[in-house]
Amino acid sequence: MSTIYEVSKLAGVSSATVSRVMNNSSRVSPNTRDKVLKAMDELGFRPNSIAQSLASKRSNSIGVVISELQGSYYGMLLNEIELTLRSAKKHVMIAAGHADAAIEEDSIEFLLQRSCDALILFVEAVSDQYLRDLKKRGVLFTLINRQVEGLETQCLSIDNYQGGYMACQKMIEVGHQSIAYISGPEWKLDAMERLRGHRQALKDHKLPIHDELFFTGDYTEYSGEHGFEQLYKSGIKFSGLVCGNDEMAAGAIMAARHLGLALPDDLSVIGFDDAYFSRFIYPRLTTIKNPIKEIGTVSANRVLHSTYGLKSKNLEYDNQPLLIARDSLTAPK
């Protein structure tokens, strides 16, 4: 690998000038610029970005910590982020947090140590205070799927409460009177918001709330399967089931079928997220769309904006959920 110094020799200029043409940082006469470009080309010169980082105190890399690297939800998000950052010539470093506070903190520190200029954080276990302290330390970041007091301007999330409300309301509109709910884990804020919206819709429509019709899962399909079996055993009849996410809906549907129910006639189901696979569940899953792609793009653009002053049009997003009507919802028999 050739260096800036070799280029400067070949072009007959100083290394400072070479640096200038690389960065367009200050005026260089067209003549010398040409000479430099030619020399670079001839040597196949590629700037060493490590050296650039050290000297400029800017690494042009952005760290992303995300709960999991697998799962359609995270995949879509990561994809959008990479696309956006990449087109701005920024490197993306990733680390998984696995929804564990220690691992999440470690991931963040790990990325910071590597001189990431900014972070995009999808963290669920780390405390609000830790995040506020991060800001105090001068770290630039955006926060996905979470609202933290004091960090409002850098938080991006959808209105989970509204989504939960919509799903339940739709069930009621179609005619269901007895509706079961399988929620995500209690320690996940989005799960609790979705649940809160559901309960409120029930209340607003003067429907009774039976504790036996609520099951707390953990967002996995296994908990959806297990949850459905529990609800079914409870003895209280229900014709509708709302799930905190699509994975659990998929699991619940499997369980319902094993128990001999015909879907959607015996049971209507609504999921949440509009995950990739929800079209391939049978019956095709009616669900609440989570505009995760948009959130990915916007979070990346905001980081680009606040860190490098890059202007972008996609700095705002619509945090309203949307009902995607497919086949798993029908009127009760």
- Measured CA to CA, the distance from residue 14 to residue 16 in angstroms comes to 5
- Measured CA to CA, the distance from residue 324 to residue 182 in angstroms comes to 19
Residue span binding its own copies (CB under 8 A) among the ranges 90-98, 181-189, 209-217, 305-313: 90-98
DSSP state of 277: G
Query: In terms of CB distance, is 75 or 189 closer to its own copies?
Result: 75
* Minimum CB–partner distance for residue 165 and its own copies (Å): 26
Q: Does 325 bind DNA (CB under 7 A)?
A: no
Residue among 2, 3, 32, 115 that touches its own copies (CB under 8 A): 115
Residue among 47, 185, 291, 332 that touches its own copies (CB under 8 A): 47
For DNA, how many residues bind (rule: CB under 7 A)? 32
Written as one letter, the residue type at 310 is: L
Q: Does 187 bind its own copies (CB under 8 A)?
A: no
- Measured CA to CA, the distance from residue 256 to residue 35 in angstroms comes to 73
Residue span binding DNA (CB under 7 A) among the ranges 53-61, 168-176, 189-197, 301-309: 53-61
**Residues 309, 152, 242, CA angle at the centre, nearest 5°?**
120
Which helix H or strand E contains 240, and what residues bound it?
Answer: strand 240-243
Select from its own copies, DNA, none the partner in contact with residue 191, using the beta carbon and a kind-dependent cut-off of 5 to 8 Å. Answer: none
Q: Does 53 bind its own copies (CB under 8 A)?
A: yes
Q: Does 311 bind DNA (CB under 7 A)?
A: no
Closest CA relative to residue 232, chosen from 206, 203, 261: 261
Query: How many other C-beta atoms can be found within 10 angstroms of the C-beta atom of residue 329?
Result: 23
- Measured CA to CA, the distance from residue 90 to residue 116 in angstroms comes to 10
Query: In terms of CB distance, is 1 or 211 closer to DNA?
Result: 1
At 39, give phi and psi (nearest 5°).
-65, -40
**Residue corresponding to tokens 């939800």:** 73
Q: Does 19 bind DNA (CB under 7 A)?
A: yes
Select from DNA, its own copies, none the partner in contact with residue 236, using the beta carbon and a kind-dependent cut-off of 5 to 8 Å. Answer: none
Q: Does 91 bind DNA (CB under 7 A)?
A: no
Beta strand 141-144 with 61-66: parallel, antiparallel or unpaired? unpaired
Q: DSSP for 73-87?
A: HHHHHHHHHHHHHHH
Select from its own copies, DNA, none the partner in contact with residue 189, using the beta carbon and a kind-dependent cut-off of 5 to 8 Å. Answer: none
Q: Does 75 bind its own copies (CB under 8 A)?
A: yes
Whether 242 and 170 have beta carbons less than 8 Å apart is answered as: no
Q: What is the contact surface with DNA in residues (CB under 7 A)? A: 1, 3-5, 12-17, 19-20, 22-23, 25-29, 31-33, 45-48, 51-52, 54-57
Which residues in this chain contact its own copies in the complex, by CB under 8 A?
46-51, 53-54, 59, 61, 68-72, 74-76, 78-79, 82-83, 86, 91-96, 109-111, 113-115, 221, 250-251, 253-254, 257, 276-277, 279-282, 284
